[in-house]
Chain A
Amino acid sequence: MRRHWRAASLLVPIGALAAGFAASPTTAAAARPHVRHASASGTLTISNESGSLWTCNFNPFNAAVYQEAAGFVYEPLVFVNALQSGKTTPWLASSYKWSNGNKVLTFTIRKGVKWSDGKPLTAADVAFTFNMLKKNPALDLNSIWSVLSSVVQKGDNVVLTFKSPAVPYFYYVADQVFIVPQHIWAKVKNPVTYPDTTPVGSGPYTVSKCTGQNITYTANAKYWQPGLPKIETVQYPAFTSNDPANVYLATGQAQWGGQFIPSIKSFYLAKSPNNHYWFPPVANVSLFINQKVAPLNQLPVRQAMAFAINRSRVAQLGEYGYEPAANQTGIVTPTFSSWYDKAAAAKYGYTYNPAKAISILKKAGYKKGSNGYFAKGGKELAFSVINVGGNSDWVADLQIIQQEFKAVGIKLTVNNLTGTDFDNDLYKGNFQLGFDNESGGPAPYYELRQLLYSGNTAPIGQLATTNYERYSNPATDKLFNEYASTTSSAQQHAIVNQLEHVMLSDVPVIPVTESVDWFQYNTASFSGWVTEKNPYAQPAPYNVPDVEVMLLHLRAK
């Protein structure tokens, strides 16, 4: 949705990314009678820049709207918490088991779960959902059928058979596929274009009213977890730009935010002692280095750049200190600290060290010219970096990096592009350096795989889904395949340690800062929020299905 939260510039709305309108200003589900939930009370308002008005569609397989449907209305089989290194909580599946060399995954479907129309949820619904994604690849947002070979129902069980060992795919099949009722979706002619304006799900809320401007969710009286949810009504207004969304939070009109707020201390915290925020880091914002472009394919050049960047200065000045500095292992700390290989990081010692950067370049045969930039064979060390111009914080980051590169004798030109131009160049490998983040996942493996697995990339000129820098190393690929075949935590840690070595020795990308989940909350009328001490779910309203876990923990005071 959305929303580019990074379009933070206050006074130049014309340049920002967001835009919107109302697709169907009609009430979606007004006709459905609502049995008031016995124990639920209170109205919670979410403030999260959506960048467009709501379409009042709730198809959980439509990338444009699934964040308003999943978690609220539709649920996954198992909840996987990224903030606790992928800790699992059984959800619609009461248990699961790997077998046959981690190629077969069996879910036992929970009994007693009802759809919001009163019909029971069964294993048949689950198998139907997976096979619908197979029939309609446009619905398969995580490409799970690239690794699955079959999904069949066996009594109360659903058996997923994979083409090869697929342990990490558990996250995508168990946490990211939202189960829909067969008795409704089987009648849908084309599920890809199905708007699903009156969604029937198993989740804690139903959509009681929807206009282009606001979604009203009401507690589902038939919800399967006894006594939950405790919050009766959730209002989700559509904010087309950052400013009104931030004002809603500052004035207390909204209690739960997923917003980038400039000067958060004076604009938000100072307004009320009940206002709080926490920004847990989840992925790296990195400098992607195109491995197919000379001289970026030379290790010394990449190493010199890694030593030249003062990451904490970028985090402090460019990111207002909201996003912490990253490290060259690619492990996001403190979120995934248990995976961080301290010894290896210390051995390579990629701290800010301009003198070291200069000596590496000199050793590699580069000579400083009269203009202060290094050159070899008449070719100056000069690169361009592409960036999304609407992300004002990233523009600031790159200005700092530009100065730091200049200090060690590398010339950097910053090309601030529109989102679409940027993606077009990034996906097709039409860049020298690129500044962006991957989406990550519930363990470091996911981001490292997005960054380094050669199967994700594509030749220059063709679209790559991740691994935009075109890194390719058979030994690294082997590590990812080994990881996929083990459920042993010790072995997974050993493999990730080796991947950290790849990041340190090859420097295929340079992590600069850590991207965070934006999360503001007001404790005046609600308690039970995610906190740094109790990170039971990812806390931004756009994290699904985490949004549901948070809603189930909240209580009106």
Chain B
Amino acid sequence: MSYALRRLGFFVVTLWVALTINFALPRLMPGNPAIAMMARFRGRVNGNVLKALEIAFGVNTKQGLVSQYFSYLGNTLTGHFGTSLTFYPNSVSQVVFSALPWTLGIVGVTTVLAFALGTLVGMTSGWRRGSVLDSVLPPVFVITSAFPYFWIALLAILLFPITLHVLPIGFGYSNTDTIGWTWHFVGDVLYHAVLPALTILVTSIGGWILTMRNNMITTLSEDYVRMARAKGLSPLRIMFDYAGRNAILPNLTGFAMSLGFVVSGAILVEYVFSYPGVGFLLLQAVQNEDYPLMQTLFLLITVAVLVAILVMDFVTMLLDPRTRSES
């Protein structure tokens, strides 16, 4: 139990540090939100707009840093995230929650898929070292993972929508759709998700395969595996219960991290495919010095990563008896 308590204490302290850094960082950036917005409209609007924006955003009505910090802490803990400056006058919660489902859907599903498939392929190719599967799949996926993501994505756009005229070039759904839980809309969303999802999968699966394969090979030379073979257990049982279960442990923490980072979206994917997710939102928040939005997103990511790690700590505790017997 002390192990669990220590993990919880660690969680709380890390959270506080993250919150504080989250408060400080945006304020170290040059300029102010009104200037950032002018930069976004360069040449499209009259210079006088700056004055109107400064009044609307309350740029010059300054509050002391200390009182800003405490009202920030209070508001964050009570779930009041304020008004977004980029999407003024929409509230931050409104803005974030409209983007979050898209990101969770596409990045979340592909992350889990990449981990599951990668682990399976890695485990099998480690188990059957030197087989056709082992000499083809891992090298191929390691190569695709080494490509820059946007290059693969642009290539996919060039190949499918532009040359072959299948699949859309971007967006989360057809522009003429009405959003709602209809078969037509859901089908359309899935259709639009094919290319982004495939490209993420292709570029992220390699890492899982490689690490899992290597862990597997190390584990296979352990005595308890030889013992299991000697006992005449079925090969599948040895592969999953004896070798796989141990080989997966180091990968779990990595998986937890990537699960946490799901909420940060995939900036490049969303950029290339004009996909309405959180990654873009984050980029835009930073570029527009939208402190409330930026802080909320960083907070969301930090909390998600910390929670995922905490959960994985507990999962490891279940899978690996050694962590429990620590004195």
Chain A interface residues (CB < 8 Å from chain B): 1-2, 4, 10-14, 16-27, 30, 51-53, 55, 57, 62-64, 67, 137-143, 192-195, 209, 211-214, 216, 235, 237-241, 243-244, 247-248, 251, 283, 388, 418-424, 427, 436-439, 450, 456, 463-466, 515, 542
Contact = CB atoms under 8 A, between A and B. Distances in A.
A13 B268 contact: yes
A57 B51 CA distance: 21
A26 B95 contact: no
Given A11-B151, A141-B45, A214-B175, A420 B35 contact: yes
B223 interface: no
Nearest to A238: B274
Given A21-B278, A27-B178, A420-B30, A63 B47 contact: no
Given A52-B86, A193-B89, A143 B48 contact: yes
B87 A23 contact: yes
Nearest to A10: B154
Interface in B95-126: 95, 98-99, 102
B101 to A, nearest CB: 9
Contacts of B81: none
A51 B289 CA distance: 15
28 contacts: A2-B40, A13-B268, A13-B272, A14-B267, A14-B268, A19-B281, A21-B95, A21-B99, A21-B278, A63-B45, A142-B46, A211-B178, A213-B172, A213-B175, A213-B276, A214-B176, A240-B270, A240-B280, A241-B274, A243-B272, A419-B42, A420-B30, A420-B288, A420-B289, A423-B35, A423-B36, A439-B44, A466-B47
B280 A244 contact: no
A53 B157 CA distance: 20
Interface residues of B, number: 69
Contacts of B36: 419-420, 423
A197 to B, nearest CB: 10
A27 B178 CA distance: 7
A16 B267 CA distance: 12
Contacts of B176: 214, 216, 235
A465 B48 contact: yes
B75 interface: no
Interface string B4-43: 0000000000000000000000000111000111111111
Nearest to A56: B90
A25 B102 CA distance: 11
Interface in B259-293: 267-268, 270-274, 276-278, 280-281, 283-284, 287-289
A1 B37 contact: no
Given A4-B42, A63-B37, A423-B38, A138 B277 contact: no
B314 interface: no
Contacts of B277: 21
A22 B46 CA distance: 26
A244 B153 CA distance: 12
Contacts of B39: 388, 418-420, 422-423
B52 A63 contact: yes
B162 interface: yes
Interface string B307-319: 0000000000000
Contact of B287 (A12, A63, A418, A437): A418
Contact of A21 (B42, B89, B150, B281): B281
Contacts of B162: 247, 251
Contact of B98 (A21, A247, A427): A21
B200 to A, nearest CB: 15
A172 to B, nearest CB: 8
B268 A419 contact: no
A441 to B, nearest CB: 8
B98 to A, nearest CB: 5
B171 to A, nearest CB: 6
A193 B287 CA distance: 22
Given A64-B87, A420-B289, A247 B47 contact: no
A80 to B, nearest CB: 14
Contacts of B90: 23-24, 55, 57, 195
Nearest to A27: B178
Nearest to A45: B175
B224 interface: no
Contacts of A19: 271, 280-281, 283-284, 287
Contacts of A140: 52
A451 to B, nearest CB: 11
Interface in B162-180: 162, 169-173, 175-179
Nearest to B277: A21
A465 B271 contact: no
B86 A64 contact: yes
B143 interface: no
Nearest to A216: B176
B198 interface: no
Nearest to B151: A11
Given A64-B88, A235-B176, A420-B36, 10 more contacts: A1-B40, A11-B151, A53-B276, A57-B90, A211-B178, A247-B157, A421-B30, A423-B31, A423-B39, A427-B50
A322 B317 CA distance: 65
Contacts of B30: 420-421, 424
A347 to B, nearest CB: 31
B53 interface: yes
A240 B274 contact: yes
A25 B95 CA distance: 10
Interface in B41-69: 41-53, 55-56
A64 B41 CA distance: 8
B50 to A, nearest CB: 5
B94 interface: yes
B271 to A, nearest CB: 5
A1 B43 CA distance: 11
B276 A235 contact: no
Given A21-B281, A418-B287, A244 B175 contact: no
B65 to A, nearest CB: 20
A127 B118 CA distance: 67
A389 to B, nearest CB: 12
Nearest to B33: A420
A436 B71 CA distance: 39
Nearest to A133: B52
Nearest to A55: B87
Contact of A26 (B84, B102, B179, B281): B179
B237 to A, nearest CB: 47
